[in-house]
Structure 1
Amino acid sequence: MRLDKFISTYTQLTRSQAKKDLKKGLIRVNGIVQTDSKFKVNLSDDQVQYQGEKIIVKDNFYYILNKPKGVVTANSDKLYRTVMDLIAKEDFRDDLFAVGRLDKDTTGILIITNNGKFAHNILAPNKHVSKTYQALVTGEITKEETLLFKQGITLKDGTKLKPAELVIESYDEIKDVSNVKIVISEGKYHQIKRMFGALGQRVLELHRLKIGELTLPSTLKSGEYQEVDVATLEKYFPNTM
């Protein structure tokens, strides 16, 4: 890997900043000052220092994003902004992708990584990683409907879903809307909207609160993201790394 690319990949510096600091003699490779941006770095053997500090080589990156409305879960889109557009240039990598997806009008926690094995294990049905949502739906949800969720809803197309948890939190009689919490262990296309559609109701707002027990930090605003360390992910998702 070219030295300037190495520096921009594994530090907060942009490639242009890396080239400037190389010319200033701020970069050492195996203890020797290196000013050539085209110098080839051996990721296995070479040690690179920036201003005396060793640059740590990381293979995998993990972020949690507080997804806002109006943004699509995709790497690129011709019509809409994507979740990748929210990642700053210094953190962006071509191999990053979202783990699962949230609809354009759905908000909440989304994991972004470049670790395919981890993503597969989070999404794999046999791992039973739950997803918890807050929803505002039309009409009054009844206890009978919570039992239908517990038994496993059958969608309009005949698809039988796994048992899910539906908790009634409040009902606004004037607006005729219910505030509910849903916990599911699978992730079919538009699943929650289709679940309530099978009951004759419509989802007005949908927000994902948790993936497993991993939640958004209270300080993370809509559209913001932050890096998550491996130790935290191993705590919440054992045997997935």
Structure 2
Amino acid sequence: MVEKGRQRLDKVLAHMGFGTRKEIKKLVKEKRIMVNGELANDPGLHVLPVRDHIEVDGEPVEYRQYIYIMLNKPQGFLSATEDRFAQVVVDLLPPEYRAFHPFPVGRLDKDAEGLLLLTNDGKLAHQLLSPKKHVPKTYYAVVCGMVTETDVEAFRNGVTLNDGYRTMPGELKILRSGPESEVELTIYEGKYHQVKRMFEAVGKKVIYLKRIAMGSLILDERLKPGEYRELSEEEIKKLRELNPTR
């Protein structure tokens, strides 16, 4: 019986981006992998990755189960892991990250840009997306039409979308009002195209949309569209506060 937490060596190294299981089998055959100071001679060797010391070509393997990546999503990419016809956000990541099989937490429209969290931590993703949590999401938008205090009040009360759904109250802040207005909007749910549809409900059209915050996570202004970085331990800790069992 395999001790709880133990995994096959080739599975662990594949998860860490060292290649396919076939490629790792070749590394074993070439005597390039050591476990606890001894040469590994079996790719199916069961190891405890959080405890056992694994080296590949003399370099220690720092095992981790999850990754958390902040991406400044550019326009033109789908918030998905794969698509037959369009580029997806995972395509922006290097192989060492894609090896963890990260997925986007929630949707961001193809023509929108801004903050998108990618992770392979399904439990955290569920917490952030759960309707019961009402995790706030803040957007910067350029809107065709003059946004007024009447719109602020309408959003505060919730607006009725074109399918009859009445939204939860949203917090609309006018940055500049004119023929093209600039606003920030915070919402607490994630209906399909919700920001665009909320403005359509008050007779206006969103012509540019950028997500700047999700829960405690704020888009790093140093990231240009298409750029990414891993979350800090503090950022991960704040996100996990939504789930006291973690």
- What interval of TM-score do these two structures reach, taking the shorter chain for normalisation? 0.7 to 0.9
1:34 to 11, 16, 40: 40
Q: Give the secondary structure class of the aligned counterpart of 1:233.
A: helix
Distance 2:217 2:242 in 1: 15
1:134 Cα offset (Å)? 0.2
* CA 1:221–1:41: 2 relative to 1, 3 Å: farther
Read off the aligned partner of 2:127 and give its amino acid letter: N
Number of the residue aligned with 2:65? 59
Structure 2 vs 1, CA of residues 141 and 214 (structure 1 numbering), >3 Å: closer, same or farther? same
Mapping of residues 57-96 of structure 1, within 5 Å: 57-93=63-99, 95-96=101-102
Give the RMSD, CA atoms, in angstroms: 2.5
User: What does 1:103-114 correspond to in 2, within 5 Å?
Assistant: 103-114=109-120
SS state at 2:176 partner: strand
Q: Are 1:157 and 2:163 matched, yes or no?
A: yes
CA–CA distance in 2 between the matches of 1:24 and 1:94?
A: 25
Per-residue CA deviation, residues 120-179 of structure 1 (Å, 9 max, x unaligned), is: 11011222210000000111011011001001111122111100000110134xxx1100
Offset at residue 13 of structure 1 (A) = 4.4
Structure 2 portions without partners, runs of 5+: 1-6
In 1, Cα distance between equivalents of 2:233 and 2:149: 40
Deviation at 1:222, TM superposition (A): 1.0
State whether residues 131 and 184 of structure 1, in contact with CA within 8 Å, keep that contact through their aligned partners in structure 2: yes
Q: Hey, what's the Cα distance between the residues in 1 that align with 2:57 and 2:81?
A: 34
Q: TM-score, normalised by structure 2?
A: 0.85
**Counterpart of 1:225?**
228
Judge which range, 116-125 or 181-190, deviates more: 116-125
Name the TM-score, length of structure 1 as normaliser.
0.86
SS of the residue aligned with 1:146? helix
Match of 1:203, SS state, is strand
Q: How many Å separate the matches in 1 of 2:34 and 2:199?
A: 60
Answer yes or no: is the 8 Å Cα contact 1:76–1:82 preserved in 2. yes
- Does structure 2 retain, via aligned residues, the 8 Å contact 1:137–1:205? yes
Q: CA deviation digits over 1:61-100, x for unaligned, max 9? A: 2111110000011111122100111111111136421110
In 2, are the aligned partners of 1:28 and 1:34 still within 8 Å (CA)?
A: yes
Q: How does 1:1-241 map to 2 (within 5 A)?
A: 3-10=9-16, 13-14=18-19, 25-34=31-40, 38-43=43-48, 46-50=52-56, 54-93=60-99, 95-172=101-178, 176-240=179-243, 241=246
Q: Distance in 2 between matches of 1:197 and 1:94?
A: 39
SS at match of 2:172: strand
SS in structure 2 at match of 1:207 = strand
Residue segments in structure 1 that go unaligned for 5+ positions in a row: none
> CA separation in 2, counterparts of 1:90 and 1:235?
25
Aligned-partner SS, 1:125: coil
